[in-house]
Amino acid sequence: MTIREQTEQLERQTLSKRAALAAESQGRDVPIPECPFRTCYQRDRDRIVHCKSFRRLKHKTQVFLAPQGDHYRTRLTHTLEVSQIARTIARGLRLNEDLTEAVAMGHDLGHTPFGHAGERALDKICPYGYKHYLQSVRIVECLEKDGQGLNLTKEVRDGIACHTTGPVAKTLEGQIVRYADRIAYINHDIEDAIRAGVMRESDIPDDIHRALGDTKSKRITTLVSSVIYNSGDEIRMDDETFAAYQAIHKFMFEKVYTNPLPKGEEGKAQDIIIKIYEYFVSHPEELPDEYRAILAHDDVHRAVCDYVSGMSDYYAIHIFSKIFIPEGWSKY
């Protein structure tokens, strides 16, 4: 037996009957020879981690635009925290950690520069609309590897597509990532907001503190425990804990997510996205080669949307400056 076959056998012996087993995957659109060492889900995780879109997450906004401090979250650190929480839940439920991790690592690949502000700008201007979770799927299916895509398994792509709203993932592992994403962002956004002086821990209402805990660690433990102890044929929290989660989300929406202090620059960020988008729609010949190639089978809006959505915060600012900000004359 190969190492992969031994791992697949171990999954059959140790995982829950509800787990998605690697040996029973629905497979890839393009069949490939099996790896002697890694299961299909381990291979998917590795393909995601090594792709360009994953690396660009390090300079994409989570909540605070292009933060200057070293300790604010970016899309990359958010992704790592989601993965850690998701794996803890998967292990507690004896589900497939490798599938869970692969979905978690790929779930935000389609996020725009400047976070949800950039997403709203593209959704407004692109005739196709824009949803980051659908773009994440497009990235792994069509854009990575010079247009070849990553050729991931159907289970990983389904989990990525269903990680936020709308249809629920077909696997419990995919459903876990939806909860892990919520648990991660609400708690690290609190910590970042406190660091930024936007709020204090004591601002959180007492009833939420009593229900979830008065520190990040306690809240994560409460929420993760609720998922583990209450999930069966579906991933869920108990009603009381989920109500407390909704209450703290509402609190954060009012205190942080719509606060002019962290969000005051979002109008400028959206203007940057829209102006860059409009420029390249009018000048498609200036798109990089890999995005001009899209024009052979899609229209200019699709190509420009793919290009602009993939930019990091800093690269978007650089491109905007290059196009619209005049350079000083330097020849003496």
Residue 67: predicted pLDDT: 64
With 90 as the cut, is the pLDDT of residue 332 above it? Answer: no
Helix pair angle (172-195, 154-161), 10° resolution: 40
Q: Are 212 and 218 in contact (CB under 8 A)?
A: yes
Characterize 307-327 residue by residue with b for buried, 16 or more Cβ atoms within 10 angstroms of its Cβ, and e for exposed: bbbbbbbeebbebbeeeeeee
Residue 50: predicted pLDDT: 98
Alpha carbon of 194 to those of 197, 198, 216, 329: distances in Å? 5, 6, 11, 44
Residue 161: predicted pLDDT: 98
Residue 328: predicted pLDDT: 73
Task: Tell me the pLDDT band of 331, cut-offs 50, 70 and 90.
Answer: low
Task: Tell me the pLDDT band of 314, cut-offs 50, 70 and 90.
Answer: very high
Task: Tell me the pLDDT band of 258, cut-offs 50, 70 and 90.
Answer: confident
Between 71 and 186, residue with greater pLDDT: 186
State the pTM of this model: 0.96
Distance CA 178, CA 297 (A): 33
Give the pLDDT mean for 125-139: 97
State the chain's mean pLDDT as an integer.
Answer: 95
Q: Which two tokens stand for residue 291?
A: 């995005």
Q: Are 147 and 73 in contact (CB under 8 A)?
A: no
Give the pLDDT mean for 146-159: 97
pLDDT digits (tens, 9 = 90+) for 290-303: 999 999 999 999 99
Residue 263: predicted pLDDT: 74
Residue 224: predicted pLDDT: 98
Distance CA 113, CA 309 (A): 7
pLDDT digits (tens, 9 = 90+) for 32-63: 999 999 999 999 999 999 999 999 999 998 87
pLDDT digits (tens, 9 = 90+) for 207-246: 999 999 999 999 999 999 999 999 999 999 999 999 999 9
Q: Are 308 and 276 in contact (CB under 8 A)?
A: yes
With 90 as the cut, is the pLDDT of residue 143 above it? Answer: yes
Task: Tell me the pLDDT band of 255, cut-offs 50, 70 and 90.
Answer: very high
**Would you tell me how many other CB atoms lie within 10 Å of the CB of residue 261?**
13
pLDDT digits (tens, 9 = 90+) for 153-182: 999 999 999 999 889 999 999 999 999 999
Give the pLDDT mean for 15-28: 98
Q: What is the DSSP string of 222-262?
A: HHHHHHHHH-SSS----HHHHHHHHHHHHHHIIIIIT-HHH
Residue 261: predicted pLDDT: 77
pLDDT digits (tens, 9 = 90+) for 6-19: 999 999 999 999 99
CATH number for the domain formed by residue range(s) 37-197:
1.10.3210.10
Task: Tell me the pLDDT band of 264, cut-offs 50, 70 and 90.
Answer: confident
Give the pLDDT mean for 279-291: 97
With 80 as the cut, is the pLDDT of residue 326 above it? Answer: yes
